[in-house]
Amino acid sequence: MAEIVEAPVGGEEATSAQTRLPFESADSLLVVRDLVVHFHTDFGVVKAVDGVSYSVNAGETLAIVGESGSGKSVNASAVLGLVPPPGKVHRGEIIFQGQDMLKLDDQRLREIRGNRIGMVFQDPLTSLNPVFSVGAQVSEAVQIHEGLARKDARERATELLSIVGIPRSRERFDDYPHQFSGGMRQRVMIAMAIAMKPALLIADEPTTALDVTVQAQILDLLGSLQQEFGMAMILITHDLGMVADQADTVAVMYAGSIVEYGTVDDIYYRPLMPYTLGLMASVARMDQARSGRLRPIRGQPPSLIFRPPGCPFHPRCDYAREVCWQEQPELLEYDQQHLAACHFAGNLPEPIRKDEP
Amino acid sequence: MSNEDTPRKRTPSAAKSGARKSPAKATARAKTPAKAKTPVKRGAASRPAKSAAPRPSIREMSGGATVTDPAPTQPAGTFGEELLRVEHLVKHFPVLRGIIFKSKVGTVQAVDDVSLSIRQGETLGVVGESGCGKSTTARTVLRLLEPTSGAIYYNGQDIVKFNKDQMRRLRREMQIIFQDPFASLNPRMTVRSIVSEPLVIHGIYEKSGGAKYVADLLERVGLNPEHGNRYPHEFSGGQRQRIGVARALALKPKLIICDEPVSALDVSVQAQILNLLEDLQNEFGLTYMFIAHDLSVVRHISDRVAVMYLGKVVEQADRDTLYERPMHPYTQALISAVPIPDPQKERDRKRIILEGDLPSPLNPPPACRFHTRCWKAQQICRDVEPPLEDHGNGHLVACHFAEEAKVL
């Protein structure tokens, strides 16, 4: 695990009295405000997360959607205090259950992580230690966080493994990760993540490495666990289908910023920002007869070192006008609880489309 | 099939076969001795396998005439004649143990009795989960892997019996695009040399137009020809995949096998590559075998779809029938497992959750291979393997209890 980067938190106490976020309420579990994470590399400063704000309410699912390199995973690791070096949290607040995570020491952070916030990563094989049996790894988690004795921990771990649907969990306790299939490994990861009935589960591409039928099993499991424990979830993914299925609110990330943020219905049925529009138009739909060619977004996602000036999406945008490369649009509320960072949100001009092969 | 409702714009078959008029290929075809002596016009015979017998030039071919033919007859339609036909293809990999004296301890039955056919200009999608044998099928069709048994007819000739020389000439006509655009491009070669390599290997670099031709190719796939002397690492994933496409196109093939060509790409870039593949198909009359695990992509690009499970084809139909009215429980579970990017639809949808994991192809379940995870399984499924039967209009299903269901 990466070390925790000490965060030079810029803000004074005044920042928490800032304007309330659109989905923020009294029972908001997690509030992230103006988070900035930079990676200082030999090639320049990678602005992986550049001023991101969002909130998660208890029991709800926030999906963070974006393409590779949009900063969605770094965002999550910042919440956990796990930004890998050379990354640094430069600014912002991460308020979890009333505490600013960026001001906590390692000890306190470790208590919250795993106890109150669980996490599931994309690749269950690299997340599990190959030289320890699966049972030992789950009971280690239980021992540390619950303070159970070895024998009790074994009992509890076995119970957890059966909760997440591992058949014959008692027999399989002493098996090693390589003896498990991908889906089973991911179940083991989930068992560890939910051991302490966390209030928040961060799932970073939890099913990307899995086959569809297994993905359905894992999503089903996450859904029922979420209901059972009243867990909130941050789901990080690029799969728009999975978001439609799981999310209550959606934040669309592009080049390190949130470009659109709203309820799942608003994002899918009333998108405001051309990038979201483009994403929706470029996915092939399984549920509809083919209606012609796909309408891809042209060009490539930008490098986070040389972020385009103004709106980061303007080089690929069909609607871009002069103002778009001159000024970066702010994420503003256009509709009730529906935010977009676009100069023309809700009022798009005529598209200027350049088709490319 | 379902030609009337195919919304995609297709040139009629006649125009399509006529479109293969490139002079380079014409000479290439004339040079192939097996073909030059082929007097049979393929168009007339719906079963090229049987018409192969009278060709005296290939003595091995006589065996082809006796092949009984269980694979489906496709109603003639907008597509040309059958270009590729795979019959009873089997590919087993031995599992060896020991260092010097290796002994066989098992067999991975990667592909077990697969029959498929693709017509000129058509796209056949092959879907399935990891380990179902879809990539092995593709590689065996190109004879990058030697089949354990079975026949592969390309233009009516059983290429399993081709010798090395014949095979090399044939490979001009069949190319492959791989999943990982980084691993499949040599990092030490410039883009220009990557794309011209197939031309050089086949000795037609100068004849095809050399540097000019390569530059045209690069431009055609959406790359700047001036970037020809750059190296693969200087390109993004989508652009690298374009290089792979240009390389596959260089020899003007007829059949391109696309092995998960967009799986490694971001959605917005995926759509670019899918459109490119479609445009090229329309322009050059290409035939695709499109292998993917993403069911949405497969519905978009395919004309017909075959679903594989543990080395077997369990269902095959034209794309709309397969998605709207799937009959095999596995296909139903597979389609129902894919979330649709539409929140309202998702809330109303019921999902079929399969029990358990994919069994190991090392020791697949007997009889129907899906019975261990199937909610319909009865004793007969454990005892008798269901044959791949036509349930009307070329909708092939291998299930004792095949039944239409709506799962979208």
Interface membership of A248 toward B (CB under 8 Å): no
pLDDT, residue B210, reads 87
Out of A212, A244, A289, whose CB is closest to B341? A244
Residue B85's DSSP bridge partners are B117, B153
- The confidence band for A178, taking pLDDT boundaries of 50, 70 and 90, is confident
Q: Name the packing angle between helices B210-220 and B191-201 (round to 10°).
A: 120
Which residue positions in chain B have pLDDT lower than 70?
A: 1-78
pLDDT, residue A355, reads 54
CA distance B143 to B152: 9
Average pLDDT (A230-253) is 93
Nearest to B29 by CA among B42, B11, B15, B10: B42
pLDDT, residue A209, reads 78
Out of A213, A239, A294, whose CB is closest to B333? A213
Work out the end-to-end distance of chain B between its first and last CA atoms, rounded to an integer number of angstroms: 21
Our measurement of the distance from residue B130's CA atom to the centroid of its chain's CA atoms, rounded to an integer in Å, reads 16
The per-residue pLDDT for range A255-265, each reduced to its tens digit, is: 999 999 999 99
CA distance B62 to B55: 8
pLDDT at A111 over 60: yes
pLDDT at A240 over 70: yes
Interface membership of A165 toward B (CB under 8 Å): no
Q: Alpha helices of chain A — where are they, by DSSP H?
A: 72-79, 106-112, 124-127, 134-146, 150-163, 169-172, 182-194, 212-229, 240-246, 264-269, 274-282, 322-326
Neighboring chain A residues of B343 at a CB cutoff of 8 Å: 244-245, 247, 264-265, 268-269
Maximum average pLDDT range among A94-103, A139-148, B296-305:
B296-305
CA distance A220 to A223: 5
Whether A286 sits inside 8 A of B338 (CB atoms) is yes
Tell me which residues of chain A, numbers 170 to 199, contact chain B at a CB-CB cutoff of 8 Å. Answer: 181, 183-184
Neighboring chain B residues of A265 at a CB cutoff of 8 Å: 343-344
pLDDT, residue A143, reads 87
Our measurement of the distance from residue B153's CA atom to the centroid of its chain's CA atoms, rounded to an integer in Å, reads 14
What number is the ipTM of this complex? 0.83
Q: How many Cβ atoms from other residues are within 10 Å of residue B133's Cβ?
A: 25
Average pLDDT (A169-194) is 88
CA distance B42 to A34: 68
pLDDT, residue A80, reads 87
| Mutation for testing the B interface, residue in A178, A286, A316 having most B CBs under 10 Å | A286
Whether A291 sits inside 8 A of B7 (CB atoms) is yes
CA distance B313 to B334: 14
Strands (E), A278-351: 332-335, 338-340
Q: Nearest CA to CA, how far is B152 from chain A (Å)? A: 29
Out of A184, A244, A290, whose CB is closest to B342? A244
pLDDT, residue B307, reads 96
The per-residue pLDDT for range A272-318, each reduced to its tens digit, is: 999 999 999 899 889 888 888 888 888 888 888 888 889 999 999 98
- The confidence band for A18, taking pLDDT boundaries of 50, 70 and 90, is low
The answer to whether B287 and B255 are in contact (CB under 8 A) is yes
pLDDT, residue A114, reads 80
Interface membership of A289 toward B (CB under 8 Å): yes
Whether A294 sits inside 8 A of B274 (CB atoms) is yes
